[in-house]
């Protein structure tokens, strides 16, 4: 999982990326290609 300051570039990496907020953190998840997972901050 990549940890980044900005989610903006990470959600554009693949068209299946979804931005989801859990427990105050912002995640980018991708069901088709799990290597695009990322977390904010």
Q: Please spell the DSSP secondary structure of the chain, one letter per residue.
A: -EEES-SHHHHTS-TT-EEEEETTEEEEE-SS-GGG-EEE-
Taking 50 as the pLDDT cut, the residues of the chain under it are none
Domain span at 22:
2-40
Amino acid 27: pLDDT: 94
Amino acid 18: pLDDT: 94
| Tokens found for residue 5 | 């300051």
Please count the structural domains in the chain.
Answer: 1
**pTM for the complete prediction?**
0.78
């Amino acid at each position: 999982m990549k940890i980044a300051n900005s989610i903006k570039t990470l959600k554009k990496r693949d068209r299946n990326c979804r931005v989801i907020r859990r427990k105050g953190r912002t995640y980018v998840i991708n069901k088709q290609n799990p290597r695009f997972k990322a977390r904010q901050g």
